[in-house]
Amino acid sequence: MTEPKIRFDKVSKRYGSLTVLDRLDFEVDEGEVVTIIGPSGSGKTTVLRVLMTLEGVQDGVIWVSGEPLNKMQSKNGMVPANKAHIRRIRSRIGMVFQNFNLFPHMTALDNCIEAPIQSLGLSKAEAVERAEELLAMVGLAEKRDQYPSQLSGGQQQRVAIARALAMRPEIILFDEPTSALDPEMVGEVLSVIRALAAEHSYTILLVTHQMGFAREISDRVCFFDGGKIVEQGLPNELFGNPQNSRLQQFLSKVLEAR
Note the residues at the interface with ligand ADP (CB under 6 A).
Answer: 15, 18, 20, 38, 40-46
179 binds other proteins (CB under 8 A): no
Min CB(66)–ligand ADP separation in Å? 26
- Residue 24 in contact with residue 11, Cβ under 8 Å? yes
Q: Which does 99 bind (CB under 5 to 8 A by kind): Mg ion, ligand ADP, other proteins, none?
A: other proteins
Would you count residue 177 as binding other proteins (CB under 8 A)?
no
Binding partner at 41 among Mg ion, other proteins, ligand ADP, none, C-beta below 5 to 8 Å by kind: ligand ADP
Residue 124 binds other proteins (CB under 8 A): no
d(CA 109, CA 142): 10
Amino acid at 15: Y
Q: Which does 87 bind (CB under 5 to 8 A by kind): Mg ion, other proteins, ligand ADP, none?
A: other proteins
Looking at the Cβ atoms of 95 and 221, the one nearer to other proteins is 95
**Which of 238, 241, 90 has the alpha carbon at shortest distance from 167?**
90
Out of 58, 80, 82, 105, the only residue in the binding site for other proteins (CB under 8 A) is 105
Taking the complex as a whole, the smallest distance from the CB of residue 224 to other proteins amounts, in Å, to: 21
* One of 54, 79, 198, 234 touching other proteins (CB under 8 A): 54
Shortest Å, Cβ 168 to other proteins: 11
What string marks each residue from 40 to 79 as x (binds Mg ion by CB under 5 A) or -?
Answer: -----x----------------------------------
Site residues (CB under 8 A) for other proteins? 52-54, 83, 87, 90-91, 93-95, 97, 99, 101-105, 114-115, 118-119, 147, 149-150, 153, 163-164, 167
Site residues (CB under 5 A) for Mg ion? 45
